[in-house]
Amino acid sequence: MKKIVSVILALTLCLGAAISLTSCKKQKVDFTVGIIQLAPHVALDAATKGFKDALVEELGKAGKAVEFKEKNAGGEISACPGIVGSFVSNRVDLILANATPALQAAVKATKSIPILGTSVTEYGVALGIENFSGTVGGNVSGTSDLAPLETQAQMMIDTLSLTEGDRVGLLFCSAEDNSHYQVNVVEKYLQAKGITTERYSFSDSNDITTVATNAANAGLSAIYVPTDNTAADNASVIKNATLAKGVPVFAGEEGICAGCGYATLSIDYYSLGRKTGEMAAKILLGQAHIEDMAIEYDAVPTKKYNPEICQALGIDTAALKELGYVAIGQ
């Protein structure tokens, strides 16, 4: 009997050891990457997913594994320094900063850990670099979600038949540097076409309802909302204010358009995230030096329209389709 018990115990120990070895093998990690995302919304979520998918795939080809430490600031810019500070303390191998405030916080936190930004519109503006050449240098690079702004402005003119004397509101967050940049470009273009522009800026999510309502009640021909994280996080608020007054909103990207806009010229944020993940793999595998890596872009933005809002506003979707627009979700 004692012999049988001894055999069973030995087998149990062997099995336990085998499971332990298998578990250790599965848990082997070659790199740790910290991901800070400013807020939970469609565009940023897609960029993060694309980044993770591409990085896992590319490292897998080299027989390497990665662990992600993922944090979301919940739309609170003030939370970003603490998040990136924890990444620095834990000595992650690379940081993904998803959105401009996340990038700005990461850059202030470390000069040694590689930082890749994504969903950042203009790096020169975001980082205060004069005469930006396209390469940040140091420990920073990434991808930009900048769409052709003047093309967006002309699309708004064409689809709404705006003419000289029409008034367009520019609705954006004053705390986001890249929103200022986009509004400046679009405003200059519209004014050159004889269209009057009026700025409606909100400082954060606390006053967006009031500002959006004021814009909707101003008798505007249209409202332009740039690629703006706070606007994206509060698109339903903008929709409730503008749709009630029949004011069409042209959005800077697809996520905002899905929430409150009738049309957009938008990049693909999942593809942008994948491009960023491929850059990260090259850095981690020693195939490229981040200081030499230029900012990369989505080369093929897509014309999209929101069927629900177009119907509510009486906008002819057949005409949009003839112009090459496709419905959101297709």
At 105 the pLDDT is 97
Task: Print the domain residue range for 82.
Answer: 31-145+268-297
Please report, rounded to a whole number, the percentage of residues in the chain having pLDDT higher than 70: 92
Q: Is the pLDDT of residue 275 over 60?
A: yes
Please, are residues 231 and 207 in contact by the beta-carbon 8 Å criterion? no
At 19 the pLDDT is 42
Mean pLDDT of 170-199: 96
At 187 the pLDDT is 98
Q: Is the pLDDT of residue 107 over 50?
A: yes
At 242 the pLDDT is 97
**225 in a structural domain:** yes
Both 127 and 273 in a single domain? yes
CA-closest candidate to residue 117, choices 155, 93, 90, 143: 143
**67 in a structural domain:** yes
Both 53 and 176 in a single domain? no
Both 88 and 41 in a single domain? yes
Sorted by sequence, the CB contacts under 8 Å of residue 297 that are 6+ apart come out as: 143, 144, 146, 267
Both 187 and 49 in a single domain? no
Q: Is the pLDDT of residue 203 over 50?
A: yes
At 329 the pLDDT is 79
Tens-place pLDDT, residues 59-84:
999 999 999 999 999 989 999 999 99
Q: Domain holding 101: CATH number?
A: 3.40.50.2300
Average pLDDT for the chain: 91
At 26 the pLDDT is 53
Mean pLDDT of 300-325: 95
Both 48 and 185 in a single domain? no
Both 116 and 262 in a single domain? no
Both 169 and 68 in a single domain? no
At 252 the pLDDT is 95
At 325 the pLDDT is 97
Both 91 and 131 in a single domain? yes
What's the number of domains the chain is made of? Answer: 2
Both 215 and 180 in a single domain? yes
Confidence class of residue 16 from pLDDT cuts 50, 70 and 90?
Answer: low
Tens-place pLDDT, residues 216-245:
999 999 999 999 989 999 999 999 999 999
Both 157 and 244 in a single domain? yes
Sorted by sequence, the CB contacts under 8 Å of residue 237 that are 6+ apart come out as: 208, 209, 212
Q: In terms of C-beta density within 10 A (0-12 exposed, 13-18 middle, 19 or more buried), how is residue 10 classed?
A: exposed
Please report, rounded to a whole number, the percentage of residues in the chain having pLDDT higher than 90: 85
At 192 the pLDDT is 97
**104 in a structural domain:** yes
Confidence class of residue 122 from pLDDT cuts 50, 70 and 90?
Answer: very high
Query: What's the predicted TM-score (pTM) here?
Result: 0.81
Confidence class of residue 10 from pLDDT cuts 50, 70 and 90?
Answer: very low
Confidence class of residue 27 from pLDDT cuts 50, 70 and 90?
Answer: low
* Residue 175 DSSP code: T
Mean pLDDT of 171-196: 95
**13 in a structural domain:** no
